[in-house]
Amino acid sequence: MQRQLRPIEDFLESRDALIDQDLNQSSGLRITRKYADLMDRFIRSLFFETAFTEEIRATRDNALAVVALGSYGRRELCLGSDVDLMVIHQGKLSPEMRDIILRILYPLWDAKLEVGHSILTVQECIRLSLNDFRVLTSVMDGRFLLGSSSFYRLFQEAFWARIYREKRSFLKQFLIYQEKRAERFHTESYFVEPDIKEGLGGLRDLHFMAWIAKIYFKCKRVNQIKRFAAFSYFEFDKLTHSASYLLKIRNHLHYLTGRKEDRLHLSYQTKLSHSLGYEDAPDMTAVEKFLRDLYLHLNRIRYGHEEFLSKSLDIIDPLPLEHTPNRLPSDFQVIKGNIVLKEGRISEKDPIVILKALNEANRLGLFLGSGFIWEAKKDIATRGGAIASSPEAKKLFMEIILNPKNPKIIRLALEIGLITLFIPDFRRIRNLAELGHYHVETVDLHSIRALEVLNEISKGTYDKRWPLFKEVFQELKQTDYLCLTALLHDIGKGSGNGHSLKGAKLIPNILTQLGVDGEALRVVPLLVEHHLLLAHISQHRDLNDEKTCVQVAQTIQNEDVLNMLFLVTVADSFATGPAARSDWKMMLLAELFFKVKRILQRGILATPDATREIEGKKRVVRDELSSLFPKDEISHIIEQVPSRYFLNMTPENMIRHFKMALNIGAEKLLWELEKLTSAPVTRMFICTYDKPGLFSKIVGVLALNNIAVLSANICTLKNGMAFDVYEVTNPLDPYTEKERWDKIYREVNLAIEDRFPLDDKILEKGRSMLEKERYESPRIREVRINNDVSDFFTVIEVRSAAIVGLLYELAKKLFSLGLNIRFAKFDSDEAYLSGDFYVRDSLGQKIHDEERIEEFRERIIEITN
């Protein structure tokens, strides 16, 4: 027993020493190799103690070898990595040898290692590799550990001979594998919390490149591919540096969590930034510095991999040659979809040739040859001053930016340093990550994507779902301002908080440097300053409150500016990610746009006469219902309804409420559900008798059933009846919607009668959710109380971490404070919740007393702690 424990103790002591000495000091590559060497010594000592070598020598043909696979085989073994072993043999394995191999595993498990193992013949291994992509790539990275080295060489020869023969059949598997990765990891959640290994730009991209190099170019190491002229320019040294950085993060992550954890969850990021030596500064926190460096390396690997794959496919599976377009300048020719120089090198020519090539590629939907790209990048680094000062180069650069037809070329202009050359302020947002759950790109790539979205709008890409986008685009008098705004709208994010205003102040100088003058110097800063206005108002304010729309109109003042601001908002939202461009948010944005547009068209102060509008709607109600109900009963209900209801509600929705009120009889609550076609939202029309805490009870039941409340419009009649309209998300399972709504209806009725244990059930749900969470999300606690938004209500704005039942608790708290909620709007994702409540006190008044306001604010904050 002691003999078995000694190697384990030695290994664990050596591992602890490695962590103490190397985790913070060594590069990522160095520590993974040292750890792999330590693992080699440990495993070999275990095999030697079991007389493994003697057993092999005793066999007639010595046909057995132990192989390290995967990351262990690559010597990229991180602290929490799996230790994958394969025993490869020929013929029948003796029971004694099989027993020895299995006995080796126990000490590995005792050392708390995750061990994978397989015992295969040569034929079995090759057959599995041909049929299973994961086995194939794992064996490709195999490394001899011990046993018969001569037998292992024979296995390698047989394995690779078969792989080379079958290599054409593997290409489709490789491409499908990468497509599935991109589909899975290109989401906002994986941008905010990247997967260091499998995510886009992660270590797996580098592994993929190495596999391609091994199979199709017979390179043992990926950098050996530089012997091919097509890859002679490739910057493998930079990619190796980025790989080392990611491996260092991966090791720190494994050490921090005590397990194989490759996803950089939010709760780890601050701790990790400090353990890696980052420090807070006045203009940037440690975690922001860390994420900026991280995305520099992730983006370098991601786009290096894409360039590598593109060039590899040109060689492995070339496309037919195409004719050079007639209008292409004489300096260039097209080879395999790429513009290249006909003769000579960029360094021998005027550097403006780079801009000319980019402009032609943008115009024709082509790309640039990889050699041309490499030379251009080098030339920009050495002769950038001459390019930036050239009026012709500046003109060509603006032509590309103002006509962003080819997204790959705009992205390339950033990668080779042209955008930062002409717009130095862009350097401050390079690889800058957003600390939030909405963005799927760094700020620089997000800005370029926004430019891309505008081009898609102009081509009608979104016409099927949102034809309004192109209709507005076609109304524009000047699209140049729009493109400049899209590219520069977040330029202020490199300067800290308040980026919209800071960005607007930077714009005049940037435009002047680009040779832009005139009206653009007024309009573009205005658009940048207010590029969040429409999104914020539409998602957080009561759009039926005319003051809200009038204030927006007063800020914008001009219909053409409104059109541009609307399209900038759309481009920003679509470039941000799925959470920001949901159908619900686009629907709200379109509603605000039309309301502000009507105000601008008829004159801001030319509002219709409220009395006339109210009387007109009352007539509609009487006319529609007179054949169904007694006129005196209709008139009685009309008299109970406050004027605000008639001003804010459409005639169709009023009819629903009046019908329910006239039919309610002895029922506690009646409702109608309308499933919207323009968004995955259900509109709930509720008629009931108002009771203390009614709103909190309804939202509590909805929360228990995984229904998120998006908005609530609450109206209490003089007779105590409630006319409410809730807009909520649809049930998760579309096939059981009716059953789910029936269940919710029953539970709401029970909750109204205080016969449903809401508090207990929400507490129970919260606990179960916490058990499922692998980390605790950081909590943002912000409560603002605003009296300027509405003439009739005080608006309480709450920003917090998304906690199960939080909306229910907020509603209860507001009720306990004597506040009546009349309208509310909510926006939430898996991490954050924002809620805006339009309230009055028990006397029906806004809250102006500063002491009461501060008391309310502190009491509300309490529930998010």
pLDDT at residue 322, rounded to an integer? 61
Which is nearest to 23 in space by CA: 254, 298, 294?
254
Q: Whole-angstrom Cα distance, residue 357 to residue 339? A: 7
Higher per-residue pLDDT: 436 or 88: 88
370 and 264 belong to one structural domain: no
In a domain, 173, yes or no: no
| Residues contacting residue 415 through CB under 8 Å, at least 6 positions apart | 303, 377
List, for residues 348-385, the tens digit of each pLDDT value: 899 999 999 999 999 999 899 888 888 999 999 999 99
Helices of type H across 50-121? 52-58, 70-74, 95-110
Could you tell me the residue range of the domain that residue 309 belongs to? 181-316
pLDDT at residue 775, rounded to an integer? 39
Q: What is the token pair recorded at 184?
A: 């899975």
Quote the number of domains for the chain.
Answer: 5
pLDDT at residue 177, rounded to an integer? 86
In a domain, 434, yes or no: no
Cβ proximity of 549 and 599 under 8 Å: yes
List, for residues 641-661, the tens digit of each pLDDT value: 998 899 889 999 999 999 999
In a domain, 10, yes or no: yes
Which is nearest to 565 in space by CA: 530, 590, 539?
530
Q: Is the pLDDT of residue 609 over 80?
A: no
Give the E-state strand segments of 651-720 in sequence order.
Answer: 669-675, 681-689, 709-716
pLDDT at residue 129, rounded to an integer? 94
578: helix, strand or coil: coil
List, for residues 577-593, the tens digit of each pLDDT value: 877 788 999 999 999 99
328 and 303 belong to one structural domain: no
Boundary residue ending a domain (403, 422, 441): 422
| Residues contacting residue 590 through CB under 8 Å, at least 6 positions apart | 466, 468
List, for residues 375-396, the tens digit of each pLDDT value: 999 999 999 999 999 999 999 9
Kindly state the average pLDDT of the residues 106-128.
Answer: 93
Boundary residue ending a domain (575, 607, 639): 607
Which is nearest to 455 in space by CA: 515, 491, 397, 401?
401
Average pLDDT over the chain, rounded to whole?
Answer: 90
pLDDT at residue 334, rounded to an integer? 87
596 and 645 belong to one structural domain: no
At 608, is the pLDDT very low, low, confident or very high (cuts 50, 70, 90)?
Answer: low
Range of 86-95, 333-342, 483-492 with top mean pLDDT = 483-492
Range of 190-194, 224-228, 455-459, 756-760 with top mean pLDDT = 455-459
The b-or-e profile of 796-833 (16+ CB within 10 A means b, else e) is bbbbbebbbbbbbbbbbbbbebebbbbbbbbbbbebbb
In a domain, 445, yes or no: no
Chain centroid, CA 751 distance in Å: 38
At 85, is the pLDDT very low, low, confident or very high (cuts 50, 70, 90)?
Answer: very high
In a domain, 440, yes or no: no
Q: Whole-angstrom Cα distance, residue 663 to residue 797? A: 37
Q: Is the pLDDT of residue 777 over 60?
A: no
Query: pTM for this one?
Result: 0.83
Range of 125-139, 422-436, 775-789 with top mean pLDDT = 125-139
At 492, is the pLDDT very low, low, confident or very high (cuts 50, 70, 90)?
Answer: very high
Secondary structure letter of residue 195 according to DSSP: B
In a domain, 171, yes or no: no
List, for residues 155-171, the tens digit of each pLDDT value: 999 999 999 999 988 88
At 303, is the pLDDT very low, low, confident or very high (cuts 50, 70, 90)?
Answer: confident
Q: Is the pLDDT of residue 615 over 70?
A: yes
pLDDT at residue 266, rounded to an integer? 84
pLDDT at residue 579, rounded to an integer? 75
At 51, is the pLDDT very low, low, confident or very high (cuts 50, 70, 90)?
Answer: low
Q: Whole-angstrom Cα distance, residue 395 to residue 416? A: 18
355 and 383 belong to one structural domain: yes
780 and 702 belong to one structural domain: yes
Q: Is the pLDDT of residue 54 over 70?
A: no
Phi, psi of 442 (to 5 degrees): -70, 165
Q: Whole-angstrom Cα distance, residue 861 to residue 452? A: 41
How much of the chain, in percent, has pLDDT values that exceed 90? 66
Q: Is the pLDDT of residue 759 over 60?
A: yes
Q: Is the pLDDT of residue 772 over 50?
A: no
Query: What single string gives the DSSP state of each residue in 803-863?
Result: -TTHHHHHHHHHHHTT-EEEEEEEEE-SSEEEEEEEEE-TTS-----HHHHHHHHHHHHHT
68 and 23 belong to one structural domain: yes
Indicate the pairing of strand 115-121 with strand 83-89. Answer: parallel
350 and 206 belong to one structural domain: no
Kindly state the average pLDDT of the residues 251-255.
Answer: 97
Cβ proximity of 481 and 564 under 8 Å: yes
Cβ proximity of 727 and 673 under 8 Å: no
At 2, is the pLDDT very low, low, confident or very high (cuts 50, 70, 90)?
Answer: very low
Q: Whole-angstrom Cα distance, residue 253 to residue 269? A: 9
206 and 248 belong to one structural domain: yes
740 and 851 belong to one structural domain: yes
Rg, the chain, Cα only: 33
Range name among 20-24, 405-409, 475-479, 828-832 with the lowest pLDDT average: 828-832
Kindly state the average pLDDT of the residues 58-73.
Answer: 83
List, for residues 203-223, the tens digit of each pLDDT value: 999 999 999 999 999 999 999
Q: Whole-angstrom Cα distance, residue 22 to residue 371? A: 39
743 and 852 belong to one structural domain: yes
pLDDT at residue 151, rounded to an integer? 94
186 and 296 belong to one structural domain: yes
List, for residues 519-576, the tens digit of each pLDDT value: 999 999 999 999 999 999 999 999 988 889 999 999 999 999 999 999 999 999 999 8
pLDDT at residue 324, rounded to an integer? 63
List, for residues 427-473, the tens digit of each pLDDT value: 999 999 876 666 778 999 999 999 999 999 999 999 999 999 999 99
722 and 845 belong to one structural domain: yes
Q: Is the pLDDT of residue 116 over 90?
A: yes
The CATH number covering residue 62 comes to 3.30.460.10
At 778, is the pLDDT very low, low, confident or very high (cuts 50, 70, 90)?
Answer: very low
